[in-house]
Structure 1
């Protein structure tokens, strides 16, 4: 096998294959996929297995229930905001009417009620303040 002559290398290769018993082609021909047994020596998955386990603790809620509750909460807050905005608009009209009539104390109390209705809507508050300052001029 270590010779420089090609024929001698081929002869040495054939003798080595005969000594070992089988050729590579014969080994691959005998290989059957169904008869192979693979053994895993270590599990190298990166999956969080604890997340897949069902936690039957009654104090926790499922993802679906949580998302549904978040959706209901958002709808409830949106409807509440619309109601407060509608009340604020009503108070705003009453404030303008009271100012025109010269009932400044009533206008001031209605104005404060309008501000209470829009505590979470700062842009609406700004609009009320500017509209009231225009009325005073």
Structure 2
């Protein structure tokens, strides 16, 4: 390793001699007052549009979107529970009407129960196969 370090130093010295100046001489020639920098073009590769705030009301941030999705899911779940509860009420009333022999009323109540659960196919299947539909 020591020989590699020596070879590297020799290579550095030869390169400095070839170029004609050492680093110290270059820095000595630099004067802050004499420097005049000109920027010809902005070569920044950063996407500047991504940093700008989008004030368009039709768009929203990801966090706001996810929050709205969560609220919507909660609202739909609660609505589904309410509809299922109403369906169960209509179903119980229809079963009582069927036992009393009031078949038209039972059928009407079963139809109301079906309307309440239009998005619950398994419950719909159970109601359709009930006794009042068979007779």
What TM-score bracket applies, with the shorter chain setting the length? Answer: 0.5 to 0.7
Checking the alignment, whether the CA contact within 8 Å between 2:16 and 2:22 is kept in structure 1 is yes
Kindly tell me the number of residue pairs found equivalent between the two proteins. 135
Offset of residue 71 of structure 1: 1.2
Unaligned runs of 5+ in 1: none
Q: How does 1:113-132 map to 2 (within 5 A)?
A: 113-132=112-131
Checking the alignment, whether the CA contact within 8 Å between 2:90 and 2:112 is kept in structure 1 is yes
Checking the alignment, whether the CA contact within 8 Å between 1:99 and 1:135 is kept in structure 2 is no
1:57-83 Cα distance to aligned partner (Å, 9 max, x none)? 234333322222211111111000000
Q: Which residue of 2 aligns with 1:38?
A: 37
C-alpha distance in 2 between matches for 1:5 and 1:79 = 76
Larger deviation: 86-95 or 48-57? Answer: 48-57
Checking the alignment, whether the CA contact within 8 Å between 1:87 and 1:114 is kept in structure 2 is yes
TM-score for the superposition, normalised by structure 2: 0.61
TM-score for the superposition, normalised by structure 1: 0.61
C-alpha distance in 2 between matches for 1:96 and 1:13 = 99
Quote the RMSD (CA, aligned, Å): 6.8
Distance 1:135 1:41, change over 3 A: farther
Checking the alignment, whether the CA contact within 8 Å between 2:90 and 2:109 is kept in structure 1 is yes
C-alpha distance in 1 between matches for 2:46 and 2:32 = 28
Distance 1:77 1:27, change over 3 A: same
Larger deviation: 95-104 or 18-27? Answer: 18-27
